[in-house]
Amino acid sequence: TKIHFDIDTNTDSSSNMTPSSFDFATSPYELEAARYGRLANAHDIAAMSDQMADEAVCYGNEGKAAVVQGLASFRAAHPRVWWAFPTGFQALPGDPTSIRFAFDRYWTDSSSGVVMVSSAVEVVKLHPSTCHILSIGLLKAASDPVPAQGGYPLHSHPVEFVAEEAGAGSRLRPQL
């Protein structure tokens, strides 16, 4: 049984299947993958770091520190990035810890100011007992970017990403 939640209110919105909504299942693995999506849109690098296993391999980076740095670098290059997850998060058949999700990624092109969109399908592999993210990889490569008709999705709330120095590392936060 699937329950549909709107990310803005976290209330049932079964009749409102917008691209800004998440399709949750009862599996703790699917819920953790959906949480990753919400944190990605909030640019909450600290919370995303907490989700990563020490041995995580994501987006070509190996080890938690490298993965987190990669997440921050991507956001620095695309400060108003927003992901829509139109089909939600579903376990792969036979492997409840591998969660598939399709997304449409929107961002503002820094040189032209045009909102662009690209689509892909990824799978997140979670640790069976801790639900920490072990890996994230592509199932379907990202499409070529095209201008997004109408800009960001109607129910999106893209925020500006700002890197802020904090001690030896950088603490990253969204700027509303």
The model carries a pTM of 0.79
Q: Are 122 and 136 in contact (CB under 8 A)?
A: yes
Contact 135, 67 (CB under 8 A): no
Q: What is the pLDDT confidence band of residue 17, given thresholds at 50, 70 and 90?
A: very low
Q: How far apart are CA 173 and CA 161, in angstroms?
A: 6
On average, the pLDDT of the chain sits at: 83
Dist CA 155 CA 170 (whole Å): 30
Helix/strand number for the chain, H first, E second: 3, 12
What average pLDDT does this structure show over 44-61?
96
Q: Model confidence over 101-128: pLDDT tens digits?
A: 999 999 999 999 999 999 999 999 999 9
